[in-house]
Amino acid sequence: MSVPKLVQQFYDRIWNGGDLEAVDTFLSEGFLFRGSLGSESKGRGGFADYVRFVKDALSNFRCEILECITEDDRAFAKVRFSGIHIREFRGNPPTGLRVHWLGAALFRFEKDTIAELWVLGDLNGLDDLLKENLESIHGTHHEALRAR
């Protein structure tokens, strides 16, 4: 089944394009959110803060919809998240290396907006990759990063 236009535009404009003004267009006023990194919020402002946090730590952050299934007022998407680790993230100093992880996103719609988004991310895989990236950095640079 094809990806609903609202879901595709949500990822394209807000996450991939960085257009936080689009939050008001795509999300209901009482929007409920649980992100792939485990944080929860209610309302558009909390979600916008989460987007800023992720995009500040991971440059060129991208969300790629791998698969999407829809039924009634819901959509379920398998998503790949990726970016370049440029600031502290999940307790790890920046490495300048690409990270990626998979997530499962459950959307609930009201009228023409997203009312709720619940995302479960593969945090074990992400943490393993962050650790591998840190360990791959050569010698003193690696030790300097750990000392921060």
Q: What structural domains and CATH numbers belong to the chain? A: 5-147 (3.10.450.50)
CA separation for the pair 23, 28 (Å, rounded): 9
Query: How far is the first Cα of the chain from the last one, in angstroms, to the nearest whole number?
Result: 47
Q: What is the pLDDT along the chain (148 residues), one digit of tens a residue?
A: 467 899 999 999 999 999 999 999 999 999 999 998 888 999 999 999 999 999 999 999 999 999 999 999 999 999 999 999 999 999 999 999 999 999 999 999 999 999 999 999 999 999 999 999 999 984 545 555 556 5
Q: Are 82 and 102 in contact (CB under 8 A)?
A: no
Give one DSSP letter per residue of 90-141, joined into a string. Answer: TTB---S-EEEEEEEEEEEEETTEEEEEEEEE-HHHHHHHHHHHHHHS-HHH
Distance from C-alpha of 90 to C-alpha of 112, rounded to nearest angstrom: 34
pTM of the model: 0.88
Sheet containing 98-110: order of strands: 40-42, 27-34, 113-121, 98-110, 74-85, 58-71
